[in-house]
Structure 1
């Protein structure tokens, strides 16, 4: 078990959300499931938590109710190797949700994701600030990030 595990509070959609995330990401699995106990009235016997893993990162999905909806204050940032991965994850995670600016989206459960190509971080480490500024200017105009357009902006094209 990892030392720190993000807990995702769902409005009794944890099973649906975990199933969705396990379909979207190629490397994932359920690690454990717990249920509400006898003293929990109408929730007795229903799933309380699901500990799951995607791409080596453990999460805890909690069926907690409507009290605490997700906000953009917390997002999950996904490092993507290439445009094909950006495209696949963007489409799959945004299905039933909404697209946002600068590589951000909300999935159908309200959880915010950043779908970011690895090359963006590499570009931001450039010793030439004008190249970073051009790339960031292009990035700020995009929804889904386009590696070719970001590279062209970075290169001055």
Structure 2
């Protein structure tokens, strides 16, 4: 790709701590460079930048990263790690301890939602959940 894309996350002095936290959770992740203002890191091959921009801007749910999970064990792992110090929300959404939003989503959800007969029951089931439960969605 000619013009590389990098996600930039604005922190209030916690960019390095956030990068270390995220890199500890995702495989194939590392901090690639750092200075007092910017920390660059890769999460599972995705380039990220943490900017120590100050208290002017806060994260909100309009931006999130989606983690697609094949198994319930993966969902449980990412949910536990990312909610440590953070907070749960509904329908697979959570905020980590830095206030950044994530969606922990089973990959099977798309196929369950494409079945027009089953989709309303699946939606009803997951609207009651915080963390997704794959078997409950399948059984809906």
Determine the structure 2 residue equivalent to 1:19.
Answer: 20
Deviation track 1:48-105 (CA, whole Å, cap 9, x = no partner) reads 1111111121111101111101000111111011100000000000000100000000
CA RMSD of aligned residues (A): 1.3
Determine the structure 2 residue equivalent to 1:67.
Answer: 56
Alignment partner for residue 148 of structure 1, among 114, 124, 135? Answer: 135
TM-score (norm. length: structure 2): 0.94
Determine the structure 2 residue equivalent to 1:29.
Answer: 30
Runs of 4+ in 1 over 6 A off after TM superposition: none
1:137 shift after superposition:
1.0
The structure with the largest alpha-carbon Rg is 1
2:43 pairs with 1:51:
no
1:130 shift after superposition:
2.1
The alignment partner of 2:27 has SS state of coil
The alignment partner of 1:123 has SS state of helix
Q: Measure the CA separation in 2 of the matches of 1:100 and 1:79.
A: 17
Deviation track 1:32-62 (CA, whole Å, cap 9, x = no partner) reads 22x3xxxxxxxxxxx2111111112111110
- Structure 2 contact 20–31 (Cα < 8 Å) conserved: no
Write the mapping of 1:1-157 to structure 2, written as runs, cut at 5 A.
3-33=4-34, 35=35, 47-126=36-115, 129-153=116-140
Q: Measure the CA separation in 1 of the matches of 2:71 and 2:43.
A: 19
